[in-house]
Amino acid sequence: MTCTQWGRISMSFSFGRNLVMHVFGESHGALVGVIVEGFPTGLRIDEGRIQAELDKRRPGTSAMVTQRKETDQLKILSGNINGISTGAPITMIIENKDVDSSSYVDFKRRPRPGHADFPATVKYGGHSDIRGSGVFSGRMTAALVMAGALVRGYLDDRGISVEARLTQIGGYAIEGRLPESIISKAKEDGDSLGSLAACTIEGMPVGIGEPMFESIESVIAHAMYSIPAVKGVSFGAGFECAKMRGSEFNDQYRMEGGKIVTTSNNNGGILGGLSNGMPIVFHVAIKPTPSISRPQMTVDLDSGKECEMTINGRHDPCIGIRAIPVIENLTAFCMADLLLR
Ligand SMILES: Cc1cc2nc3c(=O)[nH]c(=O)nc-3n(C[C@H](O)[C@H](O)[C@H](O)COP(=O)(O)O)c2cc1C
């Protein structure tokens, strides 16, 4: 089988309306970066905060994540003078230092099950960068963290907090600590684990968001499905709503300290696409890491023959662990974008 050459097709990496991010770079190229447009002038740019958020996502920090060793040192290249935004686009980058592309060269010919190798090789006529999975790498999410961490101070000043956490790994509920034995066992088996994250936004004023296409759900879902490996997003009671009666599901109103609140939060803080003043609550399902070292079946794209493959290299046993700061900061970016509309 030969790959279909569709002609010149470029890739698209922009997100946001008033606050817009443009992501660039590759996993094993020189760098990963982001340009943020629309960040108001005269606001503090807290490099320490952005670096701290990057450090939470950084690889090589424990036995529970990929052993790739990267410093992920933030560099702000534009839009910033002495820690204050000028109003010009803000360019932020991290360089790629610990690069070993040797285990990836074969994936264009023998695509990994569960990864982007096959459709990307076909779509881009074999020209897309396969090194470290190129633009399809989880490393690209460092750009989302930088863009989101930039606006955290803007949200803090308005009393808005965003917090994401893992609630399940491989079907096991997480209470406090990560279930290290379950993760180590999956690793020993040459396997990986799926996970579930929860995210809560508190302090959003009533009435932020738009009906229909720019609803808070639409904006968050668009953002979350842009994170590689995310396969499900649900708001409030989520899919459980399908089993419920209106009398059970409706969030009834009451007064608390002079404020209108609801007795339950099955709608996840969103009605008609707008914030209703309750915490905005959603869940994100993250699939198991596709690159596992167990033998798997694939097809050799040159010969068209089925063949077995095993994958070596440094991979996350559970993507969810490092996806948490991505979910949190990207959600912060969405909220700032909605507030700036
Ligand atoms: C933080 C993060 C880390 C990731 N690490 C890996 C990894 O080590 N190995 C791997 O095969 N995929 C990893 N992925 C997932 C792939 O990038 C993703 O599954 C692939 O691009 C296919 O996209 P899809 O799963 O959204 O369909 C990671 C994703 C994220 C968000």
| pLDDT at position 129 over 70 | yes
At 67, phi and psi to the nearest 5? -90, 5
What are 65-119's pLDDT values in tens digits?
Answer: 888 788 999 999 999 999 999 999 999 999 999 888 888 889 999 999 999 999 9
Quote the ligand 1 centre to 160 CA distance (angstroms).
Answer: 30
Q: Which atom of ligand 1 is nearest to the CA of 115?
A: 22
* Substitution candidate for ligand 1 out of 94, 187, 289 with most atoms within 8 A of CB: 289
Whether 118 is in a domain gets the answer yes
pLDDT of residue 100: 86
Average of per-residue pLDDT across 257-269: 98
Whether 9 is in a domain gets the answer no
Judge if the beta carbon of residue 229 lies within 6 A of ligand 1: yes
Q: Is 318 helix (H, G, I), strand (E, B) or coil?
A: coil
Q: Which residue has the tokens 């009398």?
A: 247
| pLDDT at position 1 over 60 | no
For the ranges 59-63, 155-159, 260-264, the lowest mean pLDDT is seen at: 59-63
DSSP 150: H
- What's the mean pLDDT when you consider all of the chain? 95
DSSP 40: P
Categorize the per-residue pLDDT at 6 as very low, low, confident or very high, splitting at 50, 70 and 90. low
Whether 231 is in a domain gets the answer yes
Judge if the beta carbon of residue 139 lies within 6 A of ligand 1: no
Whether 29 is in a domain gets the answer yes
Highest mean pLDDT range out of 3-7, 99-103, 275-279?
275-279
User: Model pTM?
Assistant: 0.96
DSSP codes joined into one string, 185-238? HHHHTT----EEEEEEEE-PPTT-S-SGGG-HHHHHHHHHTTSTTEEEEEETTG
| pLDDT at position 3 over 70 | no
Q: Which residue has the tokens 């074999």?
A: 126
What are 278-318's pLDDT values in tens digits?
Answer: 999 999 999 999 999 999 999 999 999 999 999 988 899 99
pLDDT of residue 7: 59
DSSP codes joined into one string, 167-186? EEETTEEP-SS--HHHHHHH
Q: Which residue, by CA, sits nearest to atom 2 of ligand 1? A: 138
Percent of residues, the chain, with pLDDT higher than 90: 89
Judge if the beta carbon of residue 118 lies within 6 A of ligand 1: no
Percent of residues, the chain, with pLDDT higher than 70: 98
For the ranges 48-52, 121-125, 240-244, the lowest mean pLDDT is seen at: 121-125
Quote the ligand 1 centre to 137 CA distance (angstroms).
Answer: 6
Whether 6 is in a domain gets the answer no
pLDDT of residue 304: 97
**What CATH number does the domain containing 161 carry?**
3.60.150.10
pLDDT of residue 98: 86
What are 10-60's pLDDT values in tens digits?
Answer: 999 999 999 999 999 999 999 999 999 999 999 999 999 999 999 999 988
pLDDT of residue 66: 85
Instruction: Output the CA–CA distances (angstroms, integers) from residue 228 to 163, 172, 289, in the order listed.
Output: 20, 22, 10
Q: Which atom of ligand 1 is nearest to the CA of 66?
A: 8
Whether 2 is in a domain gets the answer no
DSSP codes joined into one string, 261-312? EES--TTTTEETTEE-SSPEEEEEEEPPPS--SS-EEEE-TTT--EEEE---
| pLDDT at position 126 over 70 | yes
What are 193-209's pLDDT values in tens digits?
Answer: 999 999 999 999 999 99
Whether 4 is in a domain gets the answer no
Judge if the beta carbon of residue 136 lies within 6 A of ligand 1: yes
- When divided into structural domains, the chain yields a total of 1
Domain that holds residue 217: 14-339
Judge if the beta carbon of residue 330 lies within 6 A of ligand 1: no
Whether 281 is in a domain gets the answer yes
| pLDDT at position 4 over 70 | no
